[in-house]
A = this chain, B = another copy of it.
Amino acid sequence: MLAKCMEPRVKNSSAIRAMFEAGVEMAKIYGKENVYDFSLGNPNVPAPPEVNKALIEVIQNEDPIKLHGYMVNAGFEETRTAIAENLNKRFGAHLDMSNIVMTAGAGLALNLVLRSILDIDDEIVVTAPYFVDYTNYVSNYHGKLVLVDSVPEKNFAPDMDDLRAKITPRTKGMLINSPNNPTGAIYSEETIKEIAAILEEKQQEYGHVIYLIADEPYRELVYDGSDVPFVPHYYDNTLVCYSFSKGLSLAGERIGYVLIPDESDNSAEFKTAISIANRISGGINAPSVMQLALAKCLDAKVDIDFYAKNAKVLYDGLTEAGFQCVKPQGAFYMWVKSPMADESEFIADMKEKHILCTPGSAFAGPGYVRISYCVAYETIVNAMPGFKELGKKYFG
């Protein structure tokens, strides 16, 4: 009944579902307020008020046919122009609407890029740990995801020797995700430059384009004044896959874009390819009313302090209890070293304290766990006694 490639996905999903159902069962027994679920990545901060204001404004005032109708597959001109101008202002870029293709979020943006560049058995390199669904995105088109080691001591930058070794004649791109899910790390300018140099070298060697695909749903969620380099400044064949899911708390609305710089190889043809990929993926275009609203509220910001406060109390509490954590520079995840090599024991111990989070192995990062802190502040505070008890048990 199912395609062969779908079978393991469905089987694996049942395991995740079992974990989710265990959480629901625990909530029934102990009360929802006594179960501390840090497993999901759903923003817990409302969209800024400008978004709903803009939505109501376009619903009430826009031409009714335009409001909910098709537009060109790349999206409304005013939205793409507003985004280009916003990026020009913030990063000194020289973009116009032709550089932006609106998509139903970064997940679809990545799929459109992969659809456009992958033939069967082509390769994409990515550093581990990485967002789980990258494997599925690449295998949707029968490509292969090739893992490159990262260096925890260097803020999870790629092991540059390993990166060089893993790029083959079949490599069509490298996927990066900074701020990172699951580590919360941000690639420094130096790291981006080193990556760019290696990709340039390999493009020369193999005589074809190797794209640097920057998955940036967490670009706006940064702490302590951290800087996220604007990748197209460092490498011509960059493609940015952006989402408003986290920066404007619009995860359910599916709105984002692919940015194709003019400096990239044969950019006019590639822009057309991404638009076509949008159409033939069945996505067709990003949702109409949300595109129109977005053009009016691009300067809005979610309450970053909410996440910053959560990050601080969680980091301080866990390190005090003896745990080794990566201090988050961005996103809303904390990457915590498991006291035991096999983190499933740590996960089991936490479960006894009613704490749920995701094993690092799910991100190809065994020996760690991911604690998602896009939760109520109280959840962290109330979970802390459990963490402290575990700290005492492990570290005395």
Copies in the complex: 2
Question: Which chain B residues lie closer than 8 Å to A6 at the CB level?
Answer: 115-117, 273, 276-277
Give CA–CA (A17, B272) in the complex, Å.
10
- Residues A48-73 near B (CB distance < 8 A): 51-52, 55-56, 59-60, 64-65, 67-71
Q: Which of B65, B133, B279 contacts A280 (CB 8 A)?
A: B133
Give chain A's interface residue range (CB within 8 Å of chain B). 35 or more
- With the chains together, A225 CA to B340 CA distance in Å? 70
Which residues A107-121 have CB closer than 8 A to chain B? Answer: 107-112, 115-120
Q: Does A184 contact B (CB under 8 A)?
A: no
Bound CA span A43–B266, Å: 35
Whether B1 pairs with A252 at a CB distance below 8 angstroms is no
Partner of A283, one of B40, B59, B266, B283: B283
A98 at the interface (CB under 8 A from B): no
> Which of A29-37, A135-143, A147-155, A193-201 participates in binding chain B?
A135-143
Whether the Cβ atoms of A282 and B110 lie closer than 8 Å is yes
| Min CB gap A145→B, angstroms | 13
A298 in contact (CB, < 8 A): no
In the complex the two chains form, is B269's CB within 8 Å of A254's CB?
no
Q: Is the CB of B289 within 8 A of A254?
A: no
Please determine whether B284 and A105 come into contact, CB atoms closer than 8 angstroms: yes
A299 to chain B, nearest CB (A): 18
- Min CB distance A98 to B, Å, is 14
